[in-house]
A and B are shown apart, each in its own frame.
Chain A
Amino acid sequence: MATVDQPREPAVTSDRGLPRRFTVPRRTPLTWVRGGGLAAFLFLLPLLFVFGAFSWYPIVRTAIMSFQHTNLVQAPTWVGFQNFSAVWHDPQFPVAVKNTAYFALLALVFGYPIPLIAAVLMSEVRKRRGVYSAIAYLPVVIPPVVAVLLWKTFYDASSLGVFNTVLHRVGLGPYPWLQSQQWAMPSLVLESTWANAGATMIIYLAALTGVNPELYEAASADGAGLLRKVWHITLPQIRGVLLVTLILQIIGTAQVFLEPYLFTSGGPANATLTVMLLIYNYAFGNSLGGDYGKATALSLMLAGFLAVFSLVYLRATRSWSTR
């Protein structure tokens, strides 16, 4: 491991800015122990063990496995880019990519403006604002499995389903919800928005308290109305947070798994098959043994895409976010 102390490495400066070679003339294992090097290493051991074994090593292993054929019984064999091309030519691959993009897009349309509007309105609540934020945050602490299974009951397609009963009162429905290819994905996104919007809203609320009130006063003095103040002061002032939550939401929704897995298992007719679900199916969906090579290849492709996407996004918005 590269973390072992290297005594001969000529460090340029010590912490106080003096050249280190004048303050520490020679380093031996003994001076290393006396100088606290051993203590520091001991304190780092839990971190090095846990991250080494369960984070750094698996990351490297993914890259290796994606070029191998592994079945846990025989020794893995190198297969070059075979896994990647198998994924690329899988007829389910474009379906999964399209569905994931659709989920991410719908999640942005539903889930991006709602927390922002709610947070701006809520920041003007003068009494008991804590109650508002607590109510909005409550769905976030509900275990996602419960949230999904509960909404699955709500989405019961019969006329006696919870949503269909409520909508019947106002003369709508009954809707097929999860059973229709057209409505299944929006239904998933609706639940996901319910479960996650509260956290984004709290982040916006925290950002809004950082806006300097004097800016609003100056704008008021110039005769700006409410909407103009929101447009010209509030939004530009919190744009950094807005940009970050946007990219984090896209990265999060690109890995959506629980909703399609528990609501629909990817159905009806693959209408909710996402990339993450496809990875799961490759690795664990087949009782005869997983195709781990294809699963790791696809997860690397997803990670690579997200990395490139984030870089392009950060580049494109950099001038706008810092100015």
Chain B
Amino acid sequence: MSEPGRGSGLISETEWRKPSIRWGMRTTHALLFVGLVVIGIGPILWLAKSAITPTLDTISQPIALFPHGTAWSNVRQAWSDVHVGRYFWNTIVIAFGSWAVQIVVATTGGFALSVLRPRYAPIIKGLLLGTLFIPAIVLLVPLYIEIVHVPIVHKSLIDSYWAVWLPAGASAFNVILVTRFFDNLPREIFEAAEIDGAGPFQLFWRIVLPLSKPILGVVSIFALLASWKDFLWPLLVLSNPNKQPLSVRLPSIESQTSLGVFLAAMFIACLLPIAGFLIFQRSFLRGTGLGGAIKG
């Protein structure tokens, strides 16, 4: 982002001083703002409003604002009667497990590929890059069969959270992001640490990890969000409703309950991602720009 208070330079300062351009741009920006609010936040505000509106009001007057008062009972019913509370907890467990696996794989793998650099590192890097070009759909069916009949141990991982956690770790994007970050750390620090007698494990734990907080923040945010948003994979491998995350349960909740309670359940599903986004906005937006740069 360029410095605050200035544009990208598309409109020069002399042009900006002309009233016609200044007011033209200001009007355009006001319209853009209104458009963004109505389109971007509007649906979410409607969801928030309808989550606490009696079902009958939402059905008969969908865009009226509380014609007959509020119904906070929707939220309570959603949380306890249709067990959103439990599914919410499942979602959190799934998200943090996937996050942990992704962080372990990306940091240890990145450390080996970037700092320790064994001779075969280029082969592994090549295989990692190769997976980036394989669409996820190619993995779906064999991965599912592998989970149903795990080779070697001959067990089924269906309904085990490991079936969601472990495959989440196979994100080449994370490993490449972390490896590139490690590549840019100053080599002199590693050499100094080695002279002081630090082995690879101390180097990793005491020096590289503390230095890589920024990139770990970005990877963590996207790992947690991606897990929270995931639908198809948990739907396939978690067949027991008591173990399923919220996103998988929502379509069935829709048919089980009234519209008001269903909308309250959906609103609950959005709460954490929205709160997380508002708190860690900078990392989100920076990370998205970063993603574009790497993909480019």
Contact = CB atoms under 8 A, between A and B. Distances in A.
A binds B: yes
B45 to A, nearest CB: 11
A46 B135 contact: no
What DSSP secondary structure best describes chain A's contact surface? helix
Contact of A296 (B6, B141, B229, B281): B141
A97 interface: no
B33 interface: yes
Interface in B1-30: 1-2, 4-12, 14-15, 21, 25, 28-29
A121 B138 contact: no
Contacts of B250: 145-146, 149
Contact of A123 (B8, B36, B40, B246): B8
Q: How large is the interface on B (under 10, 10 to 19, 20 to 34, 35 or more residues)?
A: 35 or more
Contacts of A70: 145
B269 A146 contact: yes
A203 interface: yes
B292 A137 contact: no
B63 A162 contact: yes
A124 B285 CA distance: 18
B14 A220 contact: yes
Interface in A196-255: 198-199, 202-203, 205-209, 211, 213, 216-217, 220, 226, 229-230, 233-234, 240-241, 244-245, 248, 251, 254-255
What DSSP secondary structure best describes chain B's contact surface? helix
B165 to A, nearest CB: 10
A39 interface: yes
Interface string A139-164: 11111111001110110000011100
Interface string B253-293: 01000010001001001100110111001001100110111
Interface string B114-142: 00111110011001100101111111111
Contacts of A40: 112, 116-118, 200
A58 B291 contact: no
Contacts of A56: 127, 131
A91 interface: no
B143 A58 contact: yes
Interface residues of A, number: 115
B149 to A, nearest CB: 7
A24 B260 CA distance: 73
Interface stretch (A105-113, A125-133, A179-187): A125-133
Interface string A54-85: 11111101100100001010000000000000
Contacts of B200: 36, 39-40, 43
B204 interface: yes
Contacts of A290: 141
B92 interface: no
Contacts of B104: 46
Contacts, number: 312
B295 interface: yes
Contacts of A129: 1, 4
A95 interface: no
A283 interface: yes
B12 A2 contact: no
A198 B32 contact: no
B166 A141 contact: no
Given A55-B170, A121-B28, A3 B40 contact: no
Contacts of B118: 5, 37, 40-41, 44
Contact of B6 (A4, A53, A126): A126
A262 B248 CA distance: 11
B123 A143 contact: no
Nearest to A295: B141
Contact of B109 (A44, A54, A122, A245): A44
Nearest to B246: A143
A120 interface: yes
B37 interface: yes
Contact of B10 (A124, A199, A300): A124
Contacts of A101: none
Given A5-B119, A58-B146, A50 B135 contact: no
Interface in B181-237: 199-201, 204, 225, 228-229, 231-232, 236
Given A150-B266, A206-B289, 4 more contacts: A57-B146, A134-B285, A141-B277, A295-B140
12 contacts: A5-B119, A5-B120, A47-B124, A51-B105, A120-B10, A121-B28, A127-B5, A135-B41, A143-B246, A146-B269, A149-B266, A255-B135
